């Protein structure tokens, strides 16, 4: 049966119980959390398992959370219910880097240090001298983690200042890769390599072979126009963009 069984790689994992049997979801996503593949493990009746296989086909290519709406009077009752639970758990996990502090997670700007829009407004209202994103970093630690929130910080800060925001960004002191456990780092690297293969593969494919402290190991298969040196340079740019600078790339073949 399609999409049934444990895959080699996945980015998100969820475990539930259906009809007193363990149900496991494995979800691989790409750029902007677009669904690449949903796979599941469940030893229940095939007629119900088929619902999950069909759902996996329907959501492929969709953005995470874009769940099909069924209007056929009960079609996919189990698949719809448990996949929705799975997505809600994933969305909760996306905020685990920061403390939610009992606030609305939609107001969270800097995940690394738990800085909310209200924190920025309160800081400006206190009379603090804020002219740049770096100033926010000095006062709130906003933007000094992975750096992915810089654009949102500038967008939030601009209407609050009488003068334009100075082009002085907070300097990230820690890359996202430094905050991930080995399994999390492997999943993120796998997703980035999948993205690179999709963008540039054309006969050549890179795959993850392992990791060491501060570095990842990849291999290259196939023939194409890219030299080993050019592949390494391009892949490093993808890693720096997705996980922050400082993670070294080692090509072992």
> Interhelix angle for 77-93 vs 46-59, to 10°?
50
Give every residue of the chain whose pLDDT is below 50, as ranges: 71-75, 94-101
Q: How far is CA 12 from the centre of its chain?
A: 9
Q: Count the neighbouring beta carbons within 10 Å of the beta carbon of residue 226.
A: 19
Structure tokens that stand for 172 in this block: 């990230």
Q: 242 and 188 in one domain?
A: yes
Q: Are residues 23 and 52 in the same domain?
A: yes
Domain that holds residue 63: 12-93
Q: What whole-number distance in Å separates Cα of residue 20 and Cα of residue 48?
A: 14
Number of domains in the chain: 3
- Whole-structure pTM value: 0.41
pLDDT per position as a tens digit, 158-214: 898 888 787 666 555 567 777 777 777 888 888 888 888 888 867 788 888 887 778
Q: Would you say residue 169 lies in a domain? A: no
């Amino acid at each position: 049966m399609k999409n049934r069984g444990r895959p080699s790689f996945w980015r998100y994992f969820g475990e539930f119980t259906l009809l007193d049997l363990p149900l496991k979801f494995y979800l691989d996503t790409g750029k902007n959390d677009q669904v690449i593949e949903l796979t599941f493990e469940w030893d229940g009746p095939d007629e119900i398992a088929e619902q999950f296989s069909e759902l996996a086909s329907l959501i492929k290519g969709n953005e995470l959370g874009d769940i099909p709406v069924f209007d056929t009077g009960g079609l996919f009752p189990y698949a719809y219910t448990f996949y929705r639970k799975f997505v809600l758990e994933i969305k909760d996990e996306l905020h685990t880097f920061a403390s939610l502090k009992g606030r609305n997670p939609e107001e969270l700007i800097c995940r690394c240090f738990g800085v909310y829009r209200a924190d920025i407004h309160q800081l400006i209202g206190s009379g603090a001298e804020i002219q740049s994103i770096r100033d926010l970093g000095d006062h709130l630690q906003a933007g000094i983690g992975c750096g992915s929130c810089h654009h949102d910080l500038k967008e939030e800060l601009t209407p609050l200042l009488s003068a334009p925001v100075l082009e002085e960004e907070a300097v990230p002191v820690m890359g996202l890769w430094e905050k991930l456990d080995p399994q999390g780092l492997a999943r993120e690297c796998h997703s980035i390599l999948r993205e690179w293969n999709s963008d540039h593969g054309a006969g050549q494919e890179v795959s993850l072979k392992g990791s060491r402290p501060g570095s990842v190991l990849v291999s290259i298969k196939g023939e194409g126009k890219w030299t080993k040196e050019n592949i390494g340079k391009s892949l490093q740019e993808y890693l720096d963009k997705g996980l922050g600078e400082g993670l070294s790339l080692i090509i072992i073949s």
